[in-house]
């Protein structure tokens, strides 16, 4: 029977579905794989379900001339932690789980937008600390999102889902910058450059894939272009934002605030960000809903089932 290694515990429904088809071993830890564990994964199993943090680099794949593993069915839409070209050169197929994460990630973006603009995190900390002395007219005045302009960096599936929520749900104007022209079913103004977009919006939302092309896409120059009241929201990958530049921009008052679900060196979060009241910090919960994680897991199982049946996996990278 085909041997499958789950590198993290997945929802019971997913594990049960996999066990019908494969000889499943579940790694009990939730930490990223070590180099030795990645080599074990490739040498002792026919298939592996890796996820964010499992850095399958070119060096890992080249460590042996031939591996037992034939497919990495990534749990997640982002796969920049896997060197796909090196995997293919080693004869290993890579799949992912697009679609299942779109709405949940877009909802998290809206959560961060609302919390950041309306100072919700700051207010909750005040209440929990026992420092709230009652309502008054000028307490915790934030920014109303209705009628404001949101800028979407990366108008892919998730970017469009965020834009629809902003336009139809909150009456916001939408602007965007994307690598390719988009045929959209809602009004949105394309901007010729990232700097032009950053300078023209009240909220800048990052929704691009991770990888070398987007590493530090949001840097000091982009942050300096933003308006002083504007908020930065990141639900993409942590290293898309140059974290040191963001900290400096926040400390200097160049931007109004930030909402982050991902971090450049996660799980490490700089103390400077933790100290700032105008920053909302979430622990990478973009897809953290049971139904969503079940859908993601079942998608990995479907990719594996198709592959071992000799068919093209539905979500081939």
Q: Which domains does the chain carry?
A: 3-100+290-308 (3.40.50.720), 102-132+141-281 (3.40.50.720)
| From 70, 231, 237, 293, active-site residue | 237
- Which of 37, 224, 266, 294 is the catalytic position? 266
The whole-model pTM stands at 0.92
| 68 tagged catalytic | no
Instruction: Give pLDDT, residue 19.
Output: 98
Residues in Cβ contact with 161 at an 8 Å cutoff, skipping those fewer than 6 apart: 102, 103, 105, 106
Whether residue 254 contacts residue 226, with contact meaning beta carbons closer than 8 Å, is answered with yes
8 is catalytic: no
Contact of 30 with 267, CB cutoff 8 Å: no
- pLDDT computed for residue 211 by the predictor: 87
Catalytic residue among 118, 164, 167, 284: 284
Amino acid 180: pLDDT: 87
The whole-number pLDDT of residue 218 equals: 98
What pLDDT does residue 252 have? 97
- What is the reported pLDDT for 266? 93
Predicted pLDDT at 181: 86
Where residue 132 falls (left for φ over 0; alpha for ψ -120 to 50; beta otherwise) is: beta
Phi, psi of 9 (to 5 degrees): -65, 130
The Cα 29–Cα 161 span in angstroms is 33
Give the angle 299-104-145 at the CA atoms, nearest 5°: 160
d(CA 143, CA 93): 47
- Alpha-carbon torsion, ordered 132, 133, 136, 141, to 10 deg: -20
Active site residue 237: yes
For the chain, residues with pLDDT lower than 70 are none
């Amino acid at each position: 029977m085909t041997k499958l290694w789950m590198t993290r515990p997945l929802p019971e429904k997913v594990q049960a579905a996999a066990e019908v088809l494969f000889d499943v071993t579940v790694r009990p830890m939730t930490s990223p794989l070590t180099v030795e564990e990645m080599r074990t994964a490739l040498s002792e199993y026919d298939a592996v379900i890796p996820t964010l943090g499992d850095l399958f680099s070119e060096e890992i794949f080249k460590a042996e001339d031939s591996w037992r593993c034939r497919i990495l069915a990534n749990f997640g839409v982002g796969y920049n932690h896997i060197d796909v070209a090196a995997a293919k050169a080693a004869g290993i197929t890579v799949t992912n789980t697009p679609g299942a994460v779109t709405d949940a990630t877009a909802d998290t973006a809206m959560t961060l937008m609302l919390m950041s603009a309306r100072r919700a995190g700051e207010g909750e900390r005040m209440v929990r600390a026992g420092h709230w002395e009652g309502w008054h007219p000028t307490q915790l005045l934030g920014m109303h999102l209705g009628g404001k302009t949101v800028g979407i960096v990366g108008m892919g599936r998730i970017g469009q889902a965020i834009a629809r929520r902003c336009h139809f749900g909150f009456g916001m104007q939408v602007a965007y910058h994307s690598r390719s022209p988009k045929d959209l079913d809602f009004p949105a103004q394309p901007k010729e450059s990232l700097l032009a977009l950053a300078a023209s919006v009240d909220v800048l939302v990052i929704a691009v894939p991770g990888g070398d092309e987007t590493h530090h896409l949001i840097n000091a120059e982009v942050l300096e272009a933003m308006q002083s009241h504007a908020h930065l929201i990141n639900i993409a990958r942590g290293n898309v934002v140059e974290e040191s530049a963001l900290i400096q921009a926040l400390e200097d008052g160049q931007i109004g605030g930030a909402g982050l679900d991902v971090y450049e060196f996660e799980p490490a979060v700089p103390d400077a960000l933790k100290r700032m009241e105008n920053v909302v910090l979430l622990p990478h919960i973009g897809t953290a809903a049971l139904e969503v994680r079940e859908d993601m897991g079942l998608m990995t199982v479907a990719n594996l089932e198709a592959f071992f049946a000799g068919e093209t996996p539905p979500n081939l990278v």
